[in-house]
Structures are given as structure tokens and as C-alpha cells.
Amino acid sequence: MDSVQRAMPQGDNVNSFERYMGMVRGETVDVLPRIPILMHFAARYAGITYADFAGQPEAMIAANIKLVEDFGFEQLDVMSDPYRETTAFGAELLYREDGPPHLVRPPLEDSKDLSRLKTLEPKTAPRLRDCLRVLEGYKAYGYQRYSITGWVEGPAASAANLRGVQTFLLDFYEDEEFACALMERALEGAIRFAEVQIESGADTIGVGDAVASQLPTDLYERLVAPREKRLVEAIHAAGGLARLHICGDTSHLLQGMAGTGFDIVDLDWNVDMRHARSVLGDAVTLGGNLNPVSAILESDPEAIHLAFQSIYRSVGRPYMVNAGCEIPGATSCENLRALCRPIPVDVSGA
């Protein structure tokens, strides 16, 4: 762990993009990159409703630019909710002022007829087109000064959005053939959307596959991980990095994740980071994994900073500072600044 491979310019000569990419590539950077997930906090800090943050490209662009300027972390991203592709497939969404959009009804809630789904068209579907506008805004502001991260839903999560979570989980046991066909349709859409996001300026594509944490090891390794791997291969072929984010306890999925090829893997607070490093290996950049509530929202700045130092000592490089999941909207600015406080990279290899 934490081996020195290549050196790069240090200190004031390193910008956020170089620091982020250098960490993934195994270069020796000055400080650990910071990649906090900020959605509710972003809207509150910008003084806008969540409906505007999720539904108005200019509002999201302004909010996230304000965050990187005021807190000094490395990444501009497009996250707001898991339903962009779901709406492109034909679902109806209800925007809410104080929380993420609400899916009115899964389009296949009571049907297995895949022909009911629209063809996913990233450049014409309204919410996908909005996402591309956000990426273009980030590119105009900070191309290769900040990492720019697009997002897609993973094959299991996207299928669960289209079918309903409980119904989709039952499908694995009652109609595996259909569950796989639905994931294939979702995967095709995710690949298409990821490719266009990279064309629009994204250097990284985050893949959210939250429902996978609810699956037993064998189902994940047999049916989901191979499809995640195909998504990663497509992202790489398009010139992007791939980042996996699965909320919850994924300890039982780590071995399956190890074969997917993700460059960056986020780990939630209930995963043992040292064990994750031993399974995923030294080539994967780990992100995480403090409890967003007890160890960020309810903690204090010094404890937060010390906790991230402890994680870094435990797992070594490559590593990026992040909580286990989204930073709660009510988190104090002081606590977020503590998360973003620079942690120098240990070049000794310890």
C-alpha cells in the first residue's frame, strides 16, 4: 500500500484535477483528494430549493461551483437523485422543494412488458439533456482544473427503479430470466448515457447501484457484477474513469466488486476499510467511509480531521477523502471544512 510510483508537481503547481487524476494513476500528489457527496447541503448552502437544485441546470451549476470555491475540494458532479434514466425510460417524477424528487410510479410496477419502456435518448430526454447542460457548464468553468463527474444508475438499481424495489428483488427468485432482461435494458441505457456524458466533459462516471447491497453474494457475483463490469469497460473505452457507489454494508460483495474493474470504489461506514483494501487490492482508489450522521453531522471539526487521518493510515494510497455516503444537509460549514482540510500525502510509503 501507499507505494510511490511517479512524482508530479507539488504545492501551488497542482490543481484539483491533477491531484484527483494523480491519485488514481498512482502518482505522488501533495494532499489527499477530497470528493464529498453534497446534494442537500449544496442546495441549502446555495439558498435554493431542492426542486431547483435537481431540476434547473443553472442552479446546480452555480451551487456546485460555489462549493468547490468555498471549500476547496476536487470535484464537480451532477448528482441529485437516482431517477434521471428512469424518467427517460418513461417514468413520471414529482419535484419537491425540501427533498429529492419522488417517483410517482415505477413504469413496470405491474407489468413485465419491456416494450412499454421508451428508448433512452440522452440528447433529447429532458432530464438527461439537463444533465449534459450541467456538464457543459462545469467544462466551461473548470475543465481540467477540477474533476468533472457524471453519474448513471447501475444495472440493478436502474432495474429496481423501473420495476419497484421489492418487486424487482422478488423477480430474482421468481423470474430470473426477466430480471436479467430488465437489467440488460437498463445497462444499454446506462452505457449510452455514460458515453454522451464523457463527450460533454465528464472525466469520471459514477455508478450508483444501491439495491445491490440487498442481494446475497451469489446473486450479485453471478448476475450483477458481470453487468457492472461491462459498464466499466464501456466507460473506459469512451475515455472515462469509473467510480462505484453502493450505499450500505457491501462487505459480502467485495470479492465480486474486485473483478469489475472500477477505478474508484466508495465504501459506506459499516464496511471495514482495512479488509476492503485487502480484498480490492492496491490498484483501486478507495473512498470513504465515516458515518455521515454520527461522525460528520454530529461530530466536531478536530475529530473529523483525525478520523480521516486514521482511515488513511489504515488503508494507504490510493485513497480519497469522503464520508460513507451523502453529507447531511444540516451539517455545519465548520464540519465540512474539517472534512476538506488538507491531509498531506505520506511519501515514505508507510
Q: How do residues 156-189 score in pLDDT, each as one tens digit?
A: 999 999 999 999 999 999 999 999 999 999 999 9
Mean pLDDT across 124-130: 97
Q: What is the pLDDT of residue 9?
A: 44
The predicted-structure confidence for 279-302, as pLDDT tens digits, reads as follows 999 999 999 999 999 999 999 999
Q: Is the pLDDT of residue 13 over 80?
A: no
Lowest mean pLDDT among 96-100, 140-144, 181-185: 96-100
DSSP line for 279-314: HH-TTSEEEEEE-IIIIIITS-HHHHHHHHHHHHHH
Closest listed residue to residue 74, CA positions, set 154, 152, 138 = 138
Pick from 331, 257, 255: nearest CA to 41: 331
CA 9, 10, 14, 19 torsion-angle sign: positive
Give the 3-state secondary structure of residue 270: coil
How far is the C-alpha of 247 from the C-alpha of 125, rounded, in Å?
Answer: 27
Domains of the chain from N-terminus onward: 6-340 (3.20.20.210)
Helix boundaries (H) for the chain: 16-25, 40-46, 50-55, 57-71, 84-88, 126-142, 155-163, 165-174, 176-199, 217-219, 225-237, 254-257, 273-280, 301-315, 333-340
233 has a pLDDT exceeding 70: yes
Pairing type for strands 93-96 and 6-7 reads unpaired
